[in-house]
Structures are given as structure tokens and as C-alpha cells.
Copies of this chain bind each other. A is one copy, B any other.
Amino acid sequence: MQPDFVRIASVIEPDASQRALVADLAKLCDGRATAAPQDRIAYARDLWPKATYFAGLGKVPRPPDAICWPADEAQLGKLVAYARERHIPLIPYGAGSGVCGGAIALTGGVTVDLKRMDKLLEVDRAALRFTCQAGIIGENLERELATHGLSLGHFPSSIYCSTLGGWLAARSAGQCSTKYGKIEDMCASLTAVLGTGEIVKVGGRPARGADLAQLLIGSEGTLGFITQASLYAVPAPAELVYRAVRFRTLESGAEAIRRILRDGLRPAVVRLYDPFDTVIAGKGGKPHFEATDSQHRDSIQVIQERAPLAARLAIRAALGRPAALNHIADLLRECLLVLVFEGDGELASAEDEQALILCRELGGVDLGASPARHWMEQRYAVSYKQSKMFAAGAFADTMEVAATWDRVLPVYRAVRKAVAPLGFIMAHLSHAYVEGCSLYFTFSATAASPEACAERYDALWREALGAAMGAGATVSHHHGIGFWKAARLHEELGSAGVHALQALKRTCDPDGILNPGKLGLGAEAA
């Protein structure tokens, strides 16, 4: 399923039925509702890159008919009752940073923005637990927790433009997930307004016979609106220990990570960049490497000198020679591993030392703390190059999957091979666990016309995700499913899994009004 795109210029003042709808919504939400064209255009898309690309061409996915901002569960319950009676789709909306189209109103309806529900309700410092409404922006939550000496330990790069509810709805992972887990590991219980209008509180760790919170977590608004949650926090770490290591190959770096985790070490941050990602990541901030011997200085020079070359090559690739560029990546032979250890200073240092021993056994060269500290300083610098590329007639996107250690390198190779003829590709490994890690691919390509670009975008994704899953990857690690990965999710679940999902959909959303089309759950399932 793909959204219909409409010309932005065609989104005009509300018609009579939309005006009536807004009047009703305003009554339900203290007057906070709109069908103004600028609002409908703004809410027509999230950060699904193809929609961003089309926005540059003057088009957006079919917008919602209206947007409203309920204040609490009671208003939301009434809103659901209203929408059920009239079979109006409701699309839950956090901060719109999703990249799989989870917040796009595929079939019209009302986008329900939860950002008015943004209060930190309770903090229990002894229990290391807090209760918060779902509409809070991540960075605001961290700042409020910091005043209590706490942290959630959840730092997605979208932290400035994503909400707690969005994290839970899409099974988000933060940059420190190796130590603190994904959002589903942090959630004690949650409150939701189901598609039946029922307000339920579910969950609570340790888990029981059937952990229903785990069904709503990751349901992307297809079963209910997550309105608040209790989560476990951690004390703000006493100390951070940074470490960067250079490897000749992705293979040796990946093996080092596997051994680090296998030996029980728990760095908060683990990121291993493949040669191109190393050069491009290294280029950005001109890190001051701590060169302690001549060999280190040499390797740093190599990285720094190659950066401009890579930049030139990247531009050339964007002009249509991806295969050549992908081959050059193999020659660079520089993979940067970034590690950050957190907690009690002595223990973190002991972990760091032990990790460095393991890295050296595999040929890793210590680059000191600076490259890792540099990464930390830039941790939220989400690239704004995408729009510039789109403006230049090229496109870029990222694809994240996960695999167990035995499949990580086969997935990496399979995706590179599949994408090589179509675009330029680089990758890093991150979110590492004892059992495996996430693979995060960045690709870019160009084509002769916008239509050809859109076709190539679809083809590239089809090939890349097909190759990844064919080599053993799961459909997603932390970006969620939206509509964009829905067909692949169903492949992964199999018929019994899809039936179970549809049964839950029928139970929680009997009229199929909630976020239709997402996770491949349409009105037909309900």
C-alpha cells in the first residue's frame, strides 16, 4: 500500500463537511481542532523520506480531513466514540519523526495529536520509576528527569522531535540500548484508550501469563492510543569513559563487539562504522584524535586526507556511478568503533580496559577517547543533507534491520550486493546485544526524472529489504513498520502470526478506525 499523493496547491479551505467535522471535534477537545489548509498540509506527512522528496516537488500524501488535540483520556474516549459512530479513521500523532509513514493518514480522517498530554505526573526516586503522559517530547522528559538526578537512558537521535508515546508505539531504541535496553524493556505499565473507547491500564514487570503491555508497545496506534506510561529510570551515570578503536575490516570490528558482549561487558554506546561511513562520519567534525604514537598519527592522517576524496566521490556517485563508488569503499579499510562506558568510574574503567584488550587481540588500534567524545557531542546532529540531496534531484534514505551475530555480516554483504547497481550505500552496526545487533544502512541514488527517482527509490528498498531478510535479518529493529514495511512484516509473521494480529485488532478496534493500513491492518482485518 502506498499513499496517494496530491498537489499541495489543491489542499484548500475546508468544505462544508470538513467544517462540520471541525466544529464537532472542537466541542470534544476544548476548541482545539483545525481543518485549515496549512495545518492539513503540515500533518499530511511524517519523516518518511519519499514524502519529503515529493514535498520538494509540490506534492504531499492525501492529508487528514482535520487535526485535533485532546487534553486527556476522557476527551480521547469521547473522540473514539464519535469516530466509531461515523466510521472516521483516527490517526494517532506524536511528533511526526517516524520514517516509515506510521503517522500518514492514508485514507483521510482525523489526525489526533497527543502533544497536549505532556506532563511528567510522578517521579519515585527510590523505585527509580516515573509516570508520564505520552505526548511529552523526549528531550523535555530527559531535562525534567535530570532535575531528579535521573535519566531514562533512552536517547534516540530524534530525541528533540519524538515523543514518549511514539517511542512506545514503534518500539524505539536509543543510542544507549546496549546497556539500558529498548523502550519496551523500560516500560512498567501503560494506559491506553482502545478502539473500543475503553481506557485500560496494562503491563507491569516482571511479566505474567500474557504481557498485554507488550502488545500495545509496537502496535503503532492500530489497537489504541497510548496515553501515559510508567517507566524505569536510571540514576544519572556518575562517569562516562570514551574509547575509539580502528579496525582494518568490518569483520574484525564486529567480532570484537561480539566478544565484548559475550564477556559480559556492557558499554552504553557501541557503534562500528564501515569504511565509507567511517570516512563520512570522520569528516564531519574534524575530531582531534589523541595520537599517542606515530602509527596512530599516520592512521588519523589517512582518514583525514581521504575525507575530501570521499566527498568528491560521493558527489560523483550521486551523479550516477554508484557501482564504482561502492567498490572504492572496499579499498579504504578503516572501520571506526566507538564505545562509551557509563556508571561507577572504577567499574566503567575496568570494562573499558577489558574491552581494549579484546579489541587489540583482533588487530584493533586504540584511537583514544576523542573520536568517541566527538561522536557524543554530535549525537543528535541528524543530517539535514537529505533535503539538499532531494533538491539536487537525488535521494537518500536509511534502512535499519537487526540480525543475530551469525547473520550480521551475511546481511551486510547481501544488502550491499543488492543495492550496488542502484545506489551508493554505507552502513554501521549499532545497538549491539549479546545475541546480535542492528545494521543501519544509508543509501543514496539519482535518476533522470522525479518519476524515475521515485521508481528507483521503490526498487532500491525492495531489493535492499528483500536481501536483508533473505539473509536472515528481522524486518526492523527500531524504526517500526508503518505502512512502508507492512508487507514484509506479514512475510516475517507468517499466516498464524498475521491471524493472531488480526484477532487482536478485531478485539481492540472492532470498527477498524485506528490508523488503518499501518502494520498491514486495514478495515478488512477488523
Residues in chain A within 8 A of chain B (CB atoms) = 124, 126-129, 171, 173, 182, 184, 188, 194, 196, 198, 200-202, 204-212, 214-215, 218-220, 232, 234-235, 258, 262-266, 342-344, 346-347, 350-351, 354, 402, 404-406, 431, 433-436, 438, 474-478, 480-481, 489, 492-497, 499-504, 506-508, 519
Contact = CB atoms under 8 A, between A and B. Distances in A.
Contact of A127 (B404, B492, B495): B404
B262 A435 contact: no
Given A210-B218, A474-B208, A507 B497 contact: no
Contact of A218 (B208, B495, B499): B208
B128 A481 contact: no
Contact of A500 (B351, B493, B497, B508): B508
A343 B350 CA distance: 13
A402 B188 CA distance: 13
29 contacts: A127-B404, A128-B405, A173-B206, A200-B496, A204-B492, A206-B431, A206-B438, A206-B478, A207-B218, A209-B219, A209-B220, A209-B476, A209-B489, A209-B501, A210-B215, A210-B501, A212-B493, A214-B214, A215-B215, A232-B434, A234-B262, A264-B266, A264-B344, A347-B347, A350-B350, A500-B508, A503-B504, A503-B506, A503-B507
A497 B202 contact: yes
Contacts of A502: 507
Given A215-B500, A263-B343, A504-B503, A205 B127 contact: no
A347 B343 contact: no
A127 B209 contact: no
Contacts of A497: 200, 202, 210, 212
A209 B481 contact: yes
A182 B350 CA distance: 27
A178 to B, nearest CB: 12
A493 B212 CA distance: 8
Contacts of A206: 173, 182, 402, 431, 433, 436, 438, 474, 477-478
A474 B204 contact: yes
Nearest to A437: B206
B235 A343 contact: no
A503 B503 contact: yes
Contacts of A212: 493, 496-497, 500-501
B506 A202 contact: no
A207 B183 CA distance: 11
A235 B262 contact: yes
Contact of A129 (B126, B264, B406, B506): B406
Nearest to A477: B206
Given A232-B435, A343-B263, A343-B264, A405 B126 contact: yes
A481 B196 CA distance: 28
Q: Which 9 A-B pairs have the closest CB atoms?
A: A503-B507, A127-B406, A200-B496, A264-B343, A206-B402, A503-B503, A209-B481, A232-B435, A212-B497
Contacts of A265: 347
A347 B350 contact: yes
B496 A202 contact: yes
B481 A208 contact: yes
A402 to B, nearest CB: 5
Given A206-B431, A209-B480, A212-B497, 18 more contacts: A126-B405, A127-B405, A127-B436, A128-B262, A129-B404, A173-B206, A198-B496, A200-B494, A206-B402, A206-B478, A208-B475, A211-B218, A212-B500, A264-B347, A265-B347, A499-B507, A500-B508, A503-B503
B264 A435 contact: no
Contacts of A342: 264
Nearest to A202: B497
Contacts of A350: 346-347, 350
